[in-house]
């Protein structure tokens, strides 16, 4: 194990120890245990977010690893003009092989504090943090009373592991009030970390942004944001940067706040500091803006979506789009997910077929490109669905809007949509693979103008920018599209009438959408 260099910062020493440790572990081991060490610049950035002041301060790191984060936090606390007289650090680490290195790091940290006349008491807990404190979440929205011994930490700082666990995992059962199905372990660390804080205790986590929107984490958000009031959020522009040495592709955010039970129900005002950097290298030079609390967490939004308007233009886009009066439901429409799951329908999914006699077209994500649905492509995908025996998987050949369910943040558009015009295909029915969503009119069909108009809206830079503010996931869920604001039906059909007569619908689509959906004095700023 490395030894500290002369005058080396404890945080830097912990980083060297962590790098040494992970070299002995396979990538499969690191992935299975969620072992992704926090870079020192990120740890320093997070440590600054701890605003709590107490003479004796209890600090929790529920996923300590080699100690990079808790070292950065203690260093920052000790460097204050009026530092705590005593810092009591409780570090959880259930990897038996890491506890020895962590102990050495914390011993060095204690010596470093002693030289600065700050007493540091350290305690390493070998238990699983969520299992040990899961009882702090008794039921949805109901937490242990304030005098419970579990609710006694002044600050928690964490880079929790992230991987899915089974619904019958003891940790999932312990936190069943805030998660369901096969939850991701990081959300449990967030929920339990919030639950063991004192009132006004500080919370600083670096986590995937996927919790911020979508139906999967809705139950979690409902409870978490009743407890935690955000104070600052930092976003990374690159999905690889935050944990680049571990080759992790994940959109991460740093969320800092304080525990204030019921603050959202009480319509708390104030602002949130939103910052952003391309990655780790420029995290000390982020862009910053203050956003009204209601624009980040709208108290009228029952889904509790955490929005990130990174610029004033983003805020203007949110204001404009959320001023539109309609949703799909108001337009008499709905959105569903393609019913064909290929591995469950292997006997029906075919590489060749006779359309329309015995087979129907089967459309996958790669058949849908911006404003264009093309079939067949005659590539590796099996593009035919045997109709006999697969009737329940078929949808009628009607006009639709097809939207890809998954996107990459680095793509030009997060939303990829195309009009599906029934008369172009000349079949009775078709198959839509499960990675596609489709907008339809129940017991009816969209007009061609509606199909083209909605596809144009979803494909526009305006709604792309809106979607990036509200969505931090690679998944484009039907639930999110169902709730997305839309212009009146007259605007949708007028837009579609214009777009479908254009030789190249993409060439002037953004200008056309802005011309029909935004006030003239705001168009240039909104287009960026």
Query: Per-residue pLDDT tens for 132-147?
Result: 887 777 543 444 444 4
Segment 269-311, tens digit of pLDDT: 789 999 999 999 999 999 999 999 989 998 778 889 999 999 9
Q: Is residue 172 part of a domain?
A: yes
DSSP 3-state percent helix, strand, coil across the chain (nearest 5): 35, 25, 45
Q: Are residues 74 and 214 in the same domain?
A: yes
Ramachandran angles phi, psi of 180, nearest 5°: -145, 170
pLDDT at residue number 353: 95
Q: Are residues 291 and 353 in the same domain?
A: no
Last residue of a domain, one of 278, 310, 342: 310
Running DSSP on this structure, what letter comes out for residue 64? -
Q: Are residues 381 and 232 in the same domain?
A: no
| pLDDT of 358 over the 50 cut | yes
Lowest mean pLDDT among 31-40, 249-258, 449-458: 31-40
Q: Is residue 5 part of a domain?
A: no
| pLDDT of 345 over the 90 cut | yes
Q: Are residues 275 and 338 in the same domain?
A: no
pLDDT at residue number 145: 42
Q: How far apart are CA 350 and CA 384, in angstroms?
A: 5
Residues 224 and 257 sit within 8 Å (Cβ to Cβ): no
The domain of 182 spans 10-310
Q: Is residue 281 part of a domain?
A: yes
pLDDT at residue number 84: 96
Q: Are residues 250 and 177 in the same domain?
A: yes
Average confidence (pLDDT) over 21-50: 86
Task: Check which CATH number belongs to the domain holding 97 and give it.
Answer: 3.40.50.12420
Higher pLDDT residue, 205 or 302? 205
pLDDT at residue number 120: 97
Running DSSP on this structure, what letter comes out for residue 237? S
Q: How far apart are CA 421 and CA 178, in angstroms?
A: 42
Contacts of 163 (CB under 8 A, 6+ apart): 31, 32, 33, 34, 184, 185
Q: Are residues 379 and 300 in the same domain?
A: no
Q: How far apart are CA 434 and CA 452, in angstroms?
A: 22
Query: What total number of domains does the chain contain?
Result: 2
Q: Is residue 505 part of a domain?
A: yes
124, 118, 103, 96: which is closest to 17 by C-alpha?
103
| pLDDT of 5 over the 50 cut | yes
Q: How far apart are CA 256 and CA 274, in angstroms?
A: 10
Q: Are residues 364 and 491 in the same domain?
A: yes
Q: Are residues 49 and 112 in the same domain?
A: yes
Higher pLDDT residue, 325 or 379? 325
Confidence grade of residue 68 (pLDDT, cut at 50, 70, 90): very high
């Amino acid at each position: 194990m490395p030894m500290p260099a002369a005058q080396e910062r404890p945080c830097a020493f912990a980083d060297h120890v962590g790098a040494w440790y992970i070299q002995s572990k396979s990538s499969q081991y690191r992935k299975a245990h969620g072992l992704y060490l926090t870079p020192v610049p990120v740890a320093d950035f997070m440590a600054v977010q701890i605003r709590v002041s107490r003479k004796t301060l209890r600090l929790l790191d529920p996923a300590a690893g080699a100690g990079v984060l808790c070292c950065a936090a203690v260093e920052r606390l000790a460097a204050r003009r009026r530092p705590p007289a005593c810092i009591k650090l409780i570090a959880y680490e259930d990897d038996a092989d890491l506890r020895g290195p962590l102990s050495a790091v914390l011993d060095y940290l204690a010596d470093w504090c002693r030289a600065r006349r700050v007493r540091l008491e350290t305690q390493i807990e070998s238990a699983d943090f969520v299992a040990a404190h899961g009882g702090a979440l008794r039921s949805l929205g109901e937490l242990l009373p304030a005098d419970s011994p579990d609710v006694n930490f002044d600050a928690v700082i964490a880079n929790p592991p992230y991987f899915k666990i089974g619904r019958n995992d003891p940790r999932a059962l312990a936190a069943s009030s805030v998660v369901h199905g096969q939850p991701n372990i990081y959300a449990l660390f967030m929920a339990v970390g919030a639950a063991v804080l004192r009132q006004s205790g500080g919370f600083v986590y670096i986590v995937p942004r996927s919790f911020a929107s979508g139906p999967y984490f809705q139950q979690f958000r409902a409870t978490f944001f009743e407890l935690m009031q955000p104070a600052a959020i930092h976003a990374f522009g690159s999905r690889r940067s935050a944990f680049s040495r571990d080759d992790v592709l994940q959109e991460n955010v740093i969320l800092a706040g304080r525990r204030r039970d019921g603050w959202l129900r009480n319509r708390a005002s104030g602002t949130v500091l939103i910052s952003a950097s391309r990655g780790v290298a420029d995290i000390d030079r982020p862009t910053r803006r203050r956003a009204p609390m209601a624009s980040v967490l709208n108290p009228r939004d029952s889904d509790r979506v955490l929005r990130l308007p990174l610029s004033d233009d983003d805020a203007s886009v949110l204001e404009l789009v959320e001023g539109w009066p309609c949703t799909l439901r108001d337009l008499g429409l709905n959105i569903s997910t393609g019913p064909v799951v290929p591995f469950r329908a292997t006997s029906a999914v075919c590489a060749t077929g006779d359309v329309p006699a015995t087979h129907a077209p089967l459309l996958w994500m790669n058949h849908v490109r911006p404003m264009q649905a093309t079939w067949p492509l005659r590539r590796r995908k099996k593009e035919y669905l045997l109709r006999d025996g697969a009737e329940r998987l078929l949808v009628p050949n009607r006009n639709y809007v097809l939207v890809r369910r998954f996107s990459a943040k680095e793509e030009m558009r997060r939303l990829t949509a195309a009009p599906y015009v029934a008369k172009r295909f000349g079949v009775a029915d078709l198959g839509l693979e499960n990675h596609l969503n489709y907008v339809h009119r129940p017991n009816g069909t969209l007009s061609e103008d509606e199909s083209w108009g909605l596809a144009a809206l979803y494909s526009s830079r305006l709604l792309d920018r809106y979607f990036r503010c509200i969505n931090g996931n690679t998944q484009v869920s039907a639930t999110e599209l169902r709730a997305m604001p839309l212009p009146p039906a007259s605007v949708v059909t007028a837009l579609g009438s214009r777009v479908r007569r254009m030789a190249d619908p993409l060439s002037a689509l953004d200008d056309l959408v802005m011309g029909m959906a935004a006030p003239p004095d705001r168009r240039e700023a909104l287009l960026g």
